[in-house]
Structure 1
Amino acid sequence: MKKYLVFSLLSVVLVSSAFITEPDKKSKINWLSLEEAYKLNKEYPRKIFVDVYTDWCGWCKKMDRDTFSDADVAEFVNENYYAVKLNAESKDKIIIGQDTTTSQMMARSMGVSGYPTIVYIKEDFKTIQAVPGYQKADAFLDTLKKVLEWK
């Protein structure tokens, strides 16, 4: 009887695991540090967007949950941008080329004063524009497409 019960439980586990699939890789944004994006951009130039956030920001968490987890947004970002997360209150060091700064100072230098803010950066690492506030997935995707056209 015990052997039958163990075999039955094992069968249920094996059959159940066949239906568990790995999340679609395209539904997750490939987040990088600013340093990683800078290095990649030197070899393979593309525009960068920086999600400037804080740990206490509710709208930042909502954007993570609703906008950045949208499969269409994630796929478009991964194909066309380097995506960076930057905690505006962090004092962690950032080394860009010969310059050393902190996440906090980088956010200030980008002109960020509210959260969340998305900062778009050109291939030459010059800021295009900072866009403050929560953005729904469809509006964010439209903006991403328009920014690609900017020279």
Structure 2
Amino acid sequence: MKKLVFIGLLLLTANFAQAQEKIEWLKFEEAVAATEANPKMLLVDVYTDWCGWCKKMDKETFTDPDVIKYINEKFYAVKMNAEDNKREFDFKGKKYSEAKMAAAMRVQSYPNFVIIDPTLKNITQMPGYRQPAQFLEGLDQIIHNGFGTK
């Protein structure tokens, strides 16, 4: 009986730990450094504080276990506030704020997901709110159409 209780507690603990999994969000410069050390594409979630669809993505899509697993395995994930001019960082010899970087990536609507290849040269965008299955399908199409493999 003690063995069954122990196994039950172990399974409960494992399920709780799995439920706590989340996307490993980085700052832009952290993701750049990570991809230089271990090449992977960057997924940049460009948002604003007032964007309702951005909040819906955070609450529904970015909490989906399949989305979490896919993003953490295939990307360095970045959250970038398109209106933040306070925090600055260097990228390719220039200083950027998150707002200036979002503008440089030509983001004009929110939410917008910018995918940057491991060489940090080519980007593509996936704008708009998407439910988990749609989001994964969009990312999968980008990856399997050869983006980021050069």
Which TM-score band applies after superposition, normalised by the shorter structure? 0.7 to 0.9
**C-alpha deviation, 1:146, in angstroms:** 2.1
CA RMSD, Structure 1 to Structure 2 (Å)? 1.8
Alignment-derived partner of residue 5 in structure 1: none
CA distance in 1, matches of 2:123, 2:94: 20
Q: Secondary structure at the match of 1:63?
A: helix
Pick from 105, 109, 133 the counterpart of residue 138 of structure 1: 133
TM-score normalized by structure 2? 0.82
Residue range with higher mean Cα deviation, 52-61 or 118-127: 118-127
The total of aligned residue pairs comes to 134
TM-score normalized by structure 1? 0.81
Q: Secondary structure at the match of 1:94?
A: strand
**C-alpha deviation, 1:147, in angstroms:** 2.0
Pick from 61, 65, 72 the counterpart of residue 66 of structure 2: 72
Alignment-derived partner of residue 56 in structure 2: 62
Gaps of 5+ in 2: 1-8
Alignment-derived partner of residue 85 in structure 1: 79
Alignment-derived partner of residue 6 in structure 2: none
CA distance in 1, matches of 2:75, 2:29: 15
- Give the AA of the match of 2:110: Y
- Higher gyration radius (CA): 1
Would you say the 8 A contact 1:26–1:74 is kept in 2? no
**C-alpha deviation, 1:98, in angstroms:** 2.3
Summarize deviations over 1:3-48 as a string: whole Å, max 9, x none.
Answer: xxxxxxxxxxxxxxx7677442773100011000000010100111
Would you say the 8 A contact 1:53–1:115 is kept in 2? yes
Gaps of 5+ in 1: 1-17
CA distance in 2, matches of 1:90, 1:117: 15
CA distance in 1, matches of 2:125, 2:49: 19
